[in-house]
């Protein structure tokens, strides 16, 4: 990790920005994000997987190692999970100085309707050893990162893996997983940042020592400098985003609305506790008023919709903001706390707008 020496985005960052797709914020209108609008972060390449030879192996410190074909997984009891997923690096490019990696602005989020087999019963059938502490999830994607050649791997504690409601998803929004979202199988961990939702999943390994692979020990840690151990990135912090109102200017993305009542809408989520409040400011965070919150009780792990009527009576320039608070009392900061990797930036969204 390093930080940008100047304000211009480098060609390396542009290469990442071109590959990694943000959700267009107007897609916040849909409770379930249409395929192709959900954000997408691909560490290496999207692998081409032959589903007939593909297997999911469940191995390691277990009494009974297991292996599944895709059909065998599909024959198990299926669950459906609407889950909001946000990249841990969302908002990175808004930090100063800017950590050099995928330069996300605010759109690295989406909500999928995932369908698959529950992880917990599979682990129970394999019977983890009493000494087991963690479960490692390995994808088929391979590359070099931080000078380490690796396949993409992330771990969860055995407790989290069995109690968090994890799903081994083979469908997204009613259709087979698209290649870019992990075909044929993806781990979905409700409430966690995206990096834990391993795509192209091929191996689950129960281990007796904490996993120290790159994506846990080096990547996705909140720290101020390289020589600090830091703490791991885990569950999503509370955040709210709005559909930018009015119409845009092509290049600047500046927004223009006509005077009068403007119906603002957006969505809010937290991986830590349910959202209990969303506030809106039309004066760049100077004063706040409550939005009407519409959580869907059937979908705890999906974002909650909210609306707010703004009486844009006078022409002029405004900066709109929204701020979510979850049941733990955690709320969004106005200014983001900085860290080396640019993770967990849940500072309030600012939407400059011209009323005419």
**Least Å from the CB of residue 109 to its own copies:** 12
Q: Between residue 62 and residue 91, which ones bind its own copies under the rule CB under 8 A?
A: none
Residue choice 212, 252, 317, 335 for contact with its own copies (CB under 8 A)? 252
Residue of 137, 205, 140 whose CA lies nearest to 167: 137
Residue choice 31, 32, 44, 338 for contact with its own copies (CB under 8 A)? 44
Alpha-carbon separation of residue 329 from 86, 250, 273, 278, 290 (angstroms):
20, 38, 9, 12, 15
**Least Å from the CB of residue 12 to its own copies:** 6
> How many residues does this entry show for the chain?
356
Q: Between residue 144 and residue 163, which ones bind its own copies under the rule CB under 8 A?
A: 144-146, 149
Nearer to its own copies, 61 or 198 (CB): 198
**Least Å from the CB of residue 22 to its own copies:** 4
Residue choice 100, 195, 201, 321 for contact with its own copies (CB under 8 A)? 100
Taking CB under 8 A as the binding criterion, the range among 6-14, 70-78, 128-136, 197-205 that sits at the site for its own copies is 6-14
- CA distance linking residue 55 with residue 85, whole number of Å: 26
- Contacts of residue 162, defined as CB under 8 A and 6 or more positions apart, other chains included, come to 119, 120, 123, 124
- CA distance linking residue 151 with residue 59, whole number of Å: 17
Backbone angles phi, psi at 73, to 5 degrees: -70, -40
Cα 310 to its chain centre, rounded Å, is: 29
Residue of 241, 206, 186, 223 whose CA lies nearest to 42: 186
Q: Fill in the DSSP letter of residue 181.
A: G
Q: Is 9 in the site for its own copies (CB under 8 A)?
A: yes
**Least Å from the CB of residue 180 to its own copies:** 5
**Least Å from the CB of residue 58 to its own copies:** 26
Question: Residues in the site for its own copies, rule: CB under 8 A?
Answer: 6-19, 21-22, 24, 26-27, 29-30, 34-38, 40, 42-46, 48, 93, 100-101, 103-105, 107, 142-146, 149, 175, 178-181, 244, 247-253, 256
């Amino acid at each position: 990790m390093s930080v940008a020496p100047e304000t211009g985005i480098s060609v390396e960052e542009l290469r990442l920005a071109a590959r990694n797709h943000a959700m267009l914020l107007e897609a916040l209108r849909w409770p379930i994000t249409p395929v192709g609008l959900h954000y997408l972060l691909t560490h290496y390449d999207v692998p081409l997987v032959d589903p007939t030879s593909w297997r999911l192996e469940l191995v390691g410190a277990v009494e009974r190692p297991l292996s599944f074909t895709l059909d065998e997984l599909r024959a198990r009891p299926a669950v459906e999970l609407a889950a909001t997923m946000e990249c841990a690096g969302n908002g990175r490019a808004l930090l100063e100085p800017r950590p050099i990696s995928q330069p996300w602005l605010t759109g690295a989020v989406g909500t999928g309707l995932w369908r698959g087999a529950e992880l917990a019963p599979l682990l129970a059938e394999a019977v983890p050893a009493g000494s087991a502490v963690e479960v490692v999830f390995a994808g088929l994607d391979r590359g070099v990162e931080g000078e380490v050649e690796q396949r993409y791997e992330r771990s969860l504690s055995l407790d989290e893996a069995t109690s968090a409601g994890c799903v081994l998803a083979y469908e997204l929004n009613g259709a087979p997983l698209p290649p870019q979202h992990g075909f044929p199988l993806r781990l979905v961990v409700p409430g966690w940042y995206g990096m834990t939702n391993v795509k192209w999943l091929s191996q689950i390994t129960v281990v007796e020592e904490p996993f120290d692979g790159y994506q846990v020990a080096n990547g996705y840690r909140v720290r101020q400098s390289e020589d600090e151990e830091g703490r791991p990135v885990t569950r999503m912090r509370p955040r709210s985003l709005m559909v930018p109102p009015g119409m845009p200017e092509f290049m600047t993305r500046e927004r223009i609305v006509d005077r009068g009542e403007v119906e603002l809408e957006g969505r809010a989520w937290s991986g830590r506790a349910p959202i209990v409040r969303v506030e809106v400011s039309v004066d760049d965070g100077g004063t706040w008023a409550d939005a009407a919150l519409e959580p869907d009780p059937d979908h705890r792990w999906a974002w909650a919709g909210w609306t707010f009527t703004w009486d844009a009576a006078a022409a002029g320039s405004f900066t709109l903001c929204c701020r979510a608070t979850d049941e733990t009392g955690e709320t969004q900061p106005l200014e983001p706390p900085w860290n080396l990797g640019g993770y967990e930036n849940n500072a309030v969204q600012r939407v400059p707008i011209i009323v005419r």
